[in-house]
Structure 1
C-alpha cells in the first residue's frame, strides 16, 4: 500500500471494508443458502427488503460459503459519503486491495489517479480494475452492503459499468432496503441475476421456532410460535424485539396473547416495549450514542459522558440490543439500522435540545482523530456551518499539497454554497485544487471570489502573492504569458518569504515564459535554481512540470540528450510520486514520446503518446496537447491509418475551440493541411488554412509561434498549388525569424520544408544548400526524424549530399561538413520510411502486427505485453481493425486479412 493510499483511507475507518461479525443470536439461513447454492454464482445477486429482514446476515453467510470455495470477497459497507463518485471509487479500490493478497498489487496507483484527476476518470479506472480482476486465477466477488444509501447518478453508472463489462470470474452481491435501479431485467433474461426480496427473506415457521426456542431459549409451545410468526409476518427484527420483550415481561403468556400485529407499527411498539424495560443508564447511553453511524469505546464514552464506553458497548452486545461488531477485534460497532433510526427519533422527541450538542461532541472526536469527513458531517448535522467550514479550511492546503484535490473539492461540496466566500485561505485552496486539476474556469471563479476578501497587503502580503501565482498558473494553462512574469516576480525575488510550493510553481511559470520569450538557457537555469524548492514540496506537480519545461527548452535548442535526461527524470518522478497512470506521468510521457519521435524511434514514440492519451489529452499546457494530438496524428498517418489520424486532429481542434487555445488550433491545423496535401486534397487544405488563427491577435512569444505555424500551413498550400516561389519566400522568412530568435529545432524543421519545396521547384542546388546547412547539426544532435519528415523530395536531396560528401564538394562553407557515414545512415532510413502497404486496406503497421498476433491465437493480455501497452489500448485497436475490415470478431478479421493478402495463409 502506498503512502497516498494510507492517507486516503484512515486505518480506523477500515471497518467499512470488513463484513459484520455475528457470533450469536443468528441462525443459519439454510433454506435461502440452499436457494443460492442451487442457482449457482450469477453476475449479480440482489438481496433487498426493508430494514430488519436479515439482508446483511444472509449476505455474510453466503459470502462465507463462496470464500470457503476459494473466492476472493471484497466487502464495502456503503455510507452516505459514497454519493460522490471519487469517494465511491476510492472505497471500492480499497475494498479490493484488502481482499486480494498484497503481493498481487491489483490496485497499483489507481487511488492516486482518482485524487489527481477530477474529470472522466470513472470509466477509465473501472476498466483498468476489471482488467486486473480478469487476470486473477480465482473468482472475485464485490459485495456492497446498504446500496440504498447511494443516490448519485454517477455512482449508479459506475456499478452498471462493472455489471456490463465484468469478466467471467467477477460477480456482485448487494443488499438494499429497496429494489435497486439497475439493469436487472436485462440480467435476468441473460440468466445473470438472483433476486431475493422481503417475501423470501421472512422467517417461515420452522425458522421462527429455531430462532425463538432453540437460539434464544424461550419456553414457547407450538401455538405461541405460530401466533408470533403470524403477528410479525416473519419479520426478523420484530422477532428479535419479541424475544427481548418476553425476557423482560412479567407475564410472557399475557404479552403473547395480547400481541396481534394490529399495532400501528409493530416495530415501534416492540422497540418502545424493550426500551422502557431497560435501566435508565443503559437507555441514556443508547440514546446518546445513536447519533453516530459507528462507535468505538472512546467515542461512545465521549458521547455518553462516561469513562466506561467500551464496557457499556460490550454490555449492550451481551443484552442483544441490536449492536453488531464491525471487526474481529470488537473495537468498532454499529446499531442495527432499524434500531438506530428508532433511537434517533426517540432522542429527538424526548431530548431535542441535546441532539445538536451530541453531534458537536462527535464532530470534535472525529476531528481529533483525523477523520475529517465524519467530523464535517456531524458539524453540519449540528447545524454548525462555521465549525464545518473551519474543519475543511484547516485541512484544505494539506490535501492539495498531498495531491488529494478531489477529496478537498468533495468536502467543499458538502458545505453550503456560500460558506467559503469570506474565507481567503479556503478560497485559495479551492483555486489551487481546480487549477491543478486543469479546471481553469472554476479556478478563476474561486480566485475572483478571493480577491475582494483578501486582507490588505500590509497585513498579509503572502496571500496576495500566492493569489498572483495562482493567477499566473491559470494564465499559462490558457497559453497566455503577457502578465505571468510580473505576477510571479515577488515569489522569485524573495523566495525565503514564501512557502516552497508557491516558489516552485512560480519558477515553473517563469521557465514557461522564458521558453516563449526565446530565453531557453534562462529557462533551464531557472529550473536548476528551483530544484531545492521542488524537493521540499510534497506533491508531484511542481517537480514534474519543472523538469518538463527544462526539457522543452533543451529540445528547442536541439540538445536532444539534455532533453531526454529532463523528460525521463520527469516520468520517473511522476511514476514514483503519483503512479504510472497518473496525469503527471502521462503528460511527461507525451513529451518523452515527442523526443523519441525526433530520434526516429517511432514505435516507442507511438506507445508513449497512445498511453498518454488514455486519460484524455486535453490537459496540461498546450505543448503536451500538441504532442498528443498533432504528433500522434502524424505517426498514425505515416503508419497508413489516415482515418485515425483525422479523428485525432478533429478532436484536437474541438479541444482547442472549447478551451480557446489558438496555438493548439494552429498546430493541429497545419498537421491537417500536410495530410490533406499528401492525399491530394488541396482544396480542402486551402479551406483549412483560411481558418488558421493569426499570431498578431496574441501578444508575446506565443503569438510568434502561432504566426510561424500559420505561415507554414499557407506555404504548404502554395506549394501544392504549384506556386513554389511564393511558398519558398514564406518559408525563408520563417527560417530567418527562427534563426534570429534562437529556435534551433524550429529553424531546422523549416529548412527541411524549404529544401523540399526547392527540390519540387527543380532548384536543386538551392535545396542542397538549404539542407546542407542543417543536416549536420540535426544528425549530430541525434534527431534524424526532423530530416526524414521532409519525405521523398528531401530524401533525393540527401542522396545528392551523400555523393558530395564523398567527393568533398560540400555545397555550403563549413568547418565540419556532415560525414558520409552519417548521411549513408540517413539515406538508408529515408529509403525505409515509406508507409506500409496493406493490400488496399486502410490498416496501419501496428494494426497489421496485431492481426499477426491474433492469427497465432494470442490473447488480449499477451498482445498488450508484447506491445508494452495496456489491454484497453489493445481493445481500442481491435475495435478499429474490426470496423476497417467489416469483421465481427478476431476470427473474421484474420480471415479477411488473409484474403486481402495482408497476412500469409
Structure 2
C-alpha cells in the first residue's frame, strides 16, 4: 500500500464515520469529561494508591488520562506505563516503574536496558522517586495483563515505600491483590469501580451531542440498552452515523453483550474502504505502534499521519504513553481485528506479516520484542538465535516466567541446538516448579551429551540440573551432583562454580557438617561478588545463616541475614526471588525473639514470592512461621488456613518434607489447644518414615525443632505418658549434642524439662530448664520456651521462686536475668524493685541515684540488661574481666543493690532501659 493510498483510505473512513467538516479540535471534544469519577480521584489525591477497576471497554484509560492532565496542571510530575505480558516478571515490572519515574521514552528505555542489564530494585525505585520535584503521579495501565502471584509481593512493597505526595494509580480489569482490601479499609486506597465508570444519562447525552436526529428519549433508550458501557456507546455512535438503516443493527438483541460488541464492530468494519481494512489488518499485528513502525508496515513514509487520521476517525486507537509517540488499539477492537484477519488471510501471509514486524523490531535493537513475532512467524530458529543474545540478561533479571514461556513455544530440538537456552530453560522450569518439563529436557540433554561426550558441557549441564534438584528437594542427589559438577569447572566459571559450592553447602548443613559447609560457602562468596551474582549471593548467605542457626548462633545469623537483605535490596532484584529467602529466615529469627510485628512485616512483603519460587526449606519456614504467629495471636482459623495451604503445596509438588512439617505443626497446635483426640488423629497421619531420629536423616532449619521427635514428645507429655517422652528425648539430646545442633538441643531440653516436671521429678525438671537457658543466648531464644504454653510458664515461675535453693551455676546472674526476661515476655510480673526504691516515696531519689553513675557505668548497666556475661562485657568494652567486675561492684554500691537482677530492675525504674 502506498503512502497516498493509506492516507486516503483513512480519510474516506473518517468521512463515512464522522461529519466531513469535523476538525481536530471538534474530535477532541468527543471525549466526555468523567466529572464524577474525576472528582473522587481529586478528593483522594493524597491516598498512596488509586485503583480504577472495570471490565474491558469501560474507559479506564480515558479516566486515567483525564486525571493525569489534572495533576499535571497542578504542577505534579506524571509517569505512565502500560503493562503487557512481558512485564509479568517482577524485575521487568520494577524496571518499567523506574524508567517511568525517570521519564524515559521507549527508545531510551531500550537503550538503557541494553547498557545496564542489572536487575532493578525497590531501592532503585526509591531513588527514582527521590528525583521527583514536588508531587508525583505514577500511572500503571492495563495492569491485569502482567499481574501474577510472582508480582504480588513486589507490588505490595512498591505501595509500602511510596513517599508522601506520590500516588500510584492502577488501571485494571480485576482487583490485583486481596491484600489491597486492607489498604482500602485503612483509607489508604481509593477505588473507582465499574459502577462509577458507566456513563450516566447526562454523560451519555454529552457523548451523543453531535449526532444529528437523536432525541432525549432516543438517548435514554440507548443508555438503558447499553447500561452506560462506554465501548458499546461508541459502537452505537459509529453505527448510527451511517444512517437509519444501520441504527436498527445497533438496537438488535437485548442488552449489550460481548457478542453484540463483536457484531457492532463487524458492522463498523464492513463499511470501511477495502484499503483501510487492509491497513487495520496490518497494524493490529504488533501490540503497540509508532509512526515509524506504521510507515514500515503500511508502506508509507508518513506513518504518523496515518495514526492521526485513524484516531480522529474514532476507530478505537489511543495513546499508549505520555509522550504520544506510541499508540494501541483498544483490546476489544484489536482482538476483533486479529480474529477477522486470521479468518480472511492465508497462513503464509500471516507468517509473512509476523516476520515483517520481527524484522523491524530486530533492526531497531528491540530483539526481545522480536522474539515472539519470530515464533508466530513460524521461524523458531531465528527466535532461538535472538533469544540466545538476551538469555543471560533475562536470567540475571530473574525473568524466569518469560523464559519458561519462550521455552514452551520453541521445539525441544531447537533448545537442544542451543545448549545455553536449554540450560536456561532447565533453570526456569526448576524454580517455577515445572518439574515434568525440566526433567524431560534434562533427560534429552543427557542423551545428547552421551552421544557427543564433552566434559565441560556436561559440567555446565550438571550445574543447571542443580537448580531442579534443589527445587524438588532432592538434597542427597544435590550434594553428590554438585561435587561431580565442580570437578570440571574452574574459578574462571565464576558463579557457576559458586552455585555448585552453594548446593554442596546445603547438603553439608543437612548432615550437620557446619564447618565444612561454611568453608565452601566462603569460597563461593568472592566468585559471586566478582560477577555481581546477587541471586547466588542471597542463597549463599541464607545457607550460611542456616548453619549458624543450627548451632544456636542466632545473633550472628540475624546480623548476616539483615546485612545481606539490605545489600540485596540495594544492589539487585532482592525484592524478587532470592531476597525472599533471606527475609524468610530473618522473619523466623524475629519470631524466635518474640518480635512478632517485625516478623509479620517481612512475611507480608516477601511471603508470596517465597511461596512461588523458593526451595522447600525457606518455603516451609515461611508457612510455619506465619501459622505460628496466627496461632499465637489467637487466630486459629488463619493458622489452619496457612497449614492447609502448606499441605496443598506439598501434595501439588510432591514435597514430602513440607507435608511432614505441616502435619507436625497441625498436631502441635491441636496438642497445645488441649484437643488431644484431634492431636492423636493428626499424629497418626505422620508416617513412620517421617522421622528425624535416624542417624542418617538430613536435618534442616524448618523442621529440626519440631518434626517429628518434638511433636511426639509433646503429645506424650500432654496425655500423661511422660516417661516414654523422657526416654525418647534423652536419646535425641545425646544425638543433637554430638551433631553440635545447639538449637535443636535447646528445644529437646525444654521438652525434657516438661516431661520430668510432669513425672513429679521437679528438681530434675528445674535443672533441665536451667541447662536449656544456658544453651540459649539471652533475649534471643524466647519462643522456643514460650511456645510450650502454660505448662512451661508454670515451670519458669516455679524455677524462679526456688532459684536461690538451686545448686550454684556459672553465670548465675545471667541465668536469673534470662529467666526474668522470659517471664516478662510471657506477661508475668517478676523481679522486685530493690527496697531503696520501694521504701522511699521521695521522687528525688531517682535522679540522685541516676546522677551518681558515670557515663561508663550507665553504658555498662545497659549492657548488663541484655544479659551479657562478664566475659562478653569485657569483649564488648575492650577491657579485662576484672575491670568489669570492679565497675559492677561500684554500680551495686551506688544503687544500694546486691546483684544483676536488681540492677536491671533499677535501670528499668530509672528509665535507662525499656
Q: What is the alpha-carbon distance in structure 2 between the residues aligned to residue 197 and residue 448 of structure 1? A: 66
Tell whether 2:464 aligns with 1:470.
yes
- Give the alignment partner of residue 726 of structure 2, picking from 720, 725, 728: 728
- Give the alignment partner of residue 395 of structure 2, picking from 400, 405, 409: 400
Q: Which residue is 2:369 aligned to? A: 374
Q: TM-score scaled to structure 2, two decimals?
A: 0.63
Q: What is the alpha-carbon distance in structure 2 between the residues aligned to residue 298 and residue 467 of structure 1? A: 43
Q: Which residue is 1:267 aligned to? A: 272
Q: What is the alpha-carbon distance in structure 2 between the residues aligned to residue 408 and residue 787 of structure 1? A: 46
Paired residue secondary structure (2:208): helix
Q: Which residue is 1:102 aligned to? A: 129
Tell whether 2:811 aligns with 1:819.
yes
Q: Which residue is 1:758 aligned to? A: 756
Q: Which residue is 1:435 aligned to? A: 430
Tell whether 2:674 aligns with 1:680.
yes
Q: Which residue is 1:541 aligned to? A: 535
Q: Which residue is 2:824 aligned to? A: 832
Give, in angstroms, the shift of residue 727 of structure 1.
1.4
Q: What is the alpha-carbon distance in structure 2 between the residues aligned to residue 125 and residue 733 of structure 1? A: 45
Q: Which residue is 1:253 aligned to? A: none
Q: What is the alpha-carbon distance in structure 1 between the residues aligned to residue 310 and residue 825 of structure 2? A: 79
Q: Which residue is 2:737 aligned to? A: 739
Q: Which residue is 2:253 aligned to? A: none
- Give the alignment partner of residue 484 of structure 1, picking from 478, 486, 508: 478
Give, in angstroms, the shift of residue 375 of structure 1.
1.3
1:653-680 Cα deviation digits (max 9, x unpaired): 3333333333333333333333323332
Paired residue secondary structure (1:483): helix
Q: What is the alpha-carbon distance in structure 2 between the residues aligned to residue 736 and residue 625 of structure 1? A: 29
1:301-325 Cα deviation digits (max 9, x unpaired): 98899xxx9x755887999999999
- Give the alignment partner of residue 589 of structure 1, picking from 576, 579, 583: 583
**1:200-279 mapped onto 2 (5 Å cutoff):** 200=208, 204=212, 234=241, 266-268=271-273
Give, in angstroms, the shift of residue 514 of structure 1.
0.4
Are the counterparts in 1 of residues 90 and 154 from structure 2 also a CA contact under 8 Å?
Answer: no
Q: What is the alpha-carbon distance in structure 2 between the residues aligned to residue 573 and residue 314 of structure 1? A: 46
Are the counterparts in 2 of residues 617 and 625 from structure 1 also a CA contact under 8 Å?
Answer: yes
Q: What is the alpha-carbon distance in structure 1 between the residues aligned to residue 335 and residue 148 of structure 2? A: 37
Give, in angstroms, the shift of residue 512 of structure 1.
0.7
How has the CA–CA distance of structure 1 residues 95 and 114 changed in structure 2, closer, same or farther, with 3 Å as cutoff?
farther
Give, in angstroms, the shift of residue 498 of structure 1.
6.4
Q: Which residue is 2:628 aligned to? A: 634
Paired residue secondary structure (2:25): coil
How has the CA–CA distance of structure 1 residues 330 and 72 changed in structure 2, closer, same or farther, with 3 Å as cutoff?
closer
Bigger shift: residues 786-795 or 708-717: 786-795
Q: Which residue is 1:175 aligned to? A: none
**Matched positions, count:** 714
- Give the alignment partner of residue 379 of structure 2, picking from 359, 363, 384: 384
Paired residue secondary structure (2:687): coil
CA root-mean-square deviation:
5.7
Bigger shift: residues 559-568 or 355-364: 355-364
Q: What is the alpha-carbon distance in structure 2 between the residues aligned to residue 514 and residue 778 of structure 1? A: 24
Paired residue secondary structure (1:482): helix
Q: What is the alpha-carbon distance in structure 2 between the residues aligned to residue 611 and residue 292 of structure 1? A: 35
How has the CA–CA distance of structure 1 residues 87 and 821 changed in structure 2, closer, same or farther, with 3 Å as cutoff?
closer
Q: Which runs of 5+ in 1 are unaligned?
A: 1-23, 145-154, 173-182, 207-229, 237-261, 276-282, 811-816, 838-905
How has the CA–CA distance of structure 1 residues 570 and 635 changed in structure 2, closer, same or farther, with 3 Å as cutoff?
same
Bigger shift: residues 612-621 or 99-108: 99-108
Tell whether 2:775 aligns with 1:777.
yes
How has the CA–CA distance of structure 1 residues 353 and 640 changed in structure 2, closer, same or farther, with 3 Å as cutoff?
closer
Give, in angstroms, the shift of residue 420 of structure 1.
3.7
**1:810-889 mapped onto 2 (5 Å cutoff):** 810=808, 817-834=809-826
Are the counterparts in 2 of residues 432 and 470 from structure 1 also a CA contact under 8 Å?
Answer: yes
- Give the alignment partner of residue 564 of structure 2, picking from 557, 560, 570: 570
Give, in angstroms, the shift of residue 796 of structure 1.
5.9
Q: What is the alpha-carbon distance in structure 2 between the residues aligned to residue 319 and residue 797 of structure 1? A: 83
Bigger shift: residues 601-610 or 752-761: 601-610
Are the counterparts in 2 of residues 290 and 344 from structure 1 also a CA contact under 8 Å?
Answer: no
Q: What is the alpha-carbon distance in structure 2 between the residues aligned to residue 350 and residue 764 of structure 1? A: 88
**1:661-680 mapped onto 2 (5 Å cutoff):** 661-680=655-674
Q: What is the alpha-carbon distance in structure 2 between the residues aligned to residue 343 and residue 685 of structure 1? A: 59
Paired residue secondary structure (1:740): helix
Q: What is the alpha-carbon distance in structure 1 between the residues aligned to residue 180 and residue 825 of structure 2? A: 43
Q: What is the alpha-carbon distance in structure 2 between the residues aligned to residue 633 and residue 822 of structure 1? A: 32
Q: What is the alpha-carbon distance in structure 2 between the residues aligned to residue 93 and residue 157 of structure 1? A: 19
Q: What is the alpha-carbon distance in structure 2 between the residues aligned to residue 434 and residue 349 of structure 1? A: 37
Are the counterparts in 1 of residues 691 and 709 from structure 2 also a CA contact under 8 Å?
Answer: no
Paired residue secondary structure (2:476): coil
Q: What is the alpha-carbon distance in structure 2 between the residues aligned to residue 107 and residue 57 of structure 1? A: 16
Bigger shift: residues 503-512 or 432-441: 432-441
Q: Which residue is 1:623 aligned to? A: 617
Q: What is the alpha-carbon distance in structure 2 between the residues aligned to residue 90 and residue 197 of structure 1? A: 42
1:357-380 Cα deviation digits (max 9, x unpaired): 776465344225442343124424
**1:125-274 mapped onto 2 (5 Å cutoff):** 184=194, 200=208, 204=212, 234=241, 266-268=271-273
How has the CA–CA distance of structure 1 residues 749 and 363 changed in structure 2, closer, same or farther, with 3 Å as cutoff?
same
Give, in angstroms, the shift of residue 643 of structure 1.
3.7
How has the CA–CA distance of structure 1 residues 829 and 417 changed in structure 2, closer, same or farther, with 3 Å as cutoff?
same
Tell whether 2:516 aligns with 1:522.
yes
Q: What is the alpha-carbon distance in structure 1 between the residues aligned to residue 181 and residue 768 of structure 2? A: 61
Q: What is the alpha-carbon distance in structure 1 between the residues aligned to residue 480 and residue 596 of structure 2? A: 40
Q: What is the alpha-carbon distance in structure 2 between the residues aligned to residue 644 and residue 59 of structure 1? A: 37
Paired residue secondary structure (2:552): coil
How has the CA–CA distance of structure 1 residues 795 and 264 changed in structure 2, closer, same or farther, with 3 Å as cutoff?
closer
Give, in angstroms, the shift of residue 416 of structure 1.
6.4
Are the counterparts in 2 of residues 141 and 171 from structure 1 also a CA contact under 8 Å?
Answer: no
Q: Which residue is 1:718 aligned to? A: 716
Q: TM-score scaled to structure 1, two decimals?
A: 0.64
Give, in angstroms, the shift of residue 344 of structure 1.
15
Give, in angstroms, the shift of residue 749 of structure 1.
1.3
Q: What is the alpha-carbon distance in structure 1 between the residues aligned to residue 823 and residue 598 of structure 2? A: 20
Q: Which runs of 5+ in 2 are unaligned?
A: 1-21, 41-51, 104-124, 215-236, 244-266, 830-914
Q: What is the alpha-carbon distance in structure 2 between the residues aligned to residue 48 and residue 492 of structure 1? A: 56
Are the counterparts in 2 of residues 787 and 794 from structure 1 also a CA contact under 8 Å?
Answer: yes
Q: What is the alpha-carbon distance in structure 1 between the residues aligned to residue 26 and residue 405 of structure 2? A: 41
Give, in angstroms, the shift of residue 730 of structure 1.
1.1
Tell whether 2:631 aligns with 1:648.
no
Give, in angstroms, the shift of residue 530 of structure 1.
0.6
Q: Which residue is 1:120 aligned to? A: 149
Give, in angstroms, the shift of residue 736 of structure 1.
1.5
Give, in angstroms, the shift of residue 761 of structure 1.
0.8
**1:53-92 mapped onto 2 (5 Å cutoff):** 64=69, 68=73
1:134-179 Cα deviation digits (max 9, x unpaired): x8769876679xxxxxxxxxx767599999998898677xxxxxxx
**1:800-815 mapped onto 2 (5 Å cutoff):** 809-810=807-808
Q: Which residue is 1:251 aligned to? A: none
Higher relative contact order (CA 8 A, sep 6+): 2
Q: What is the alpha-carbon distance in structure 2 between the residues aligned to residue 343 and residue 802 of structure 1? A: 78
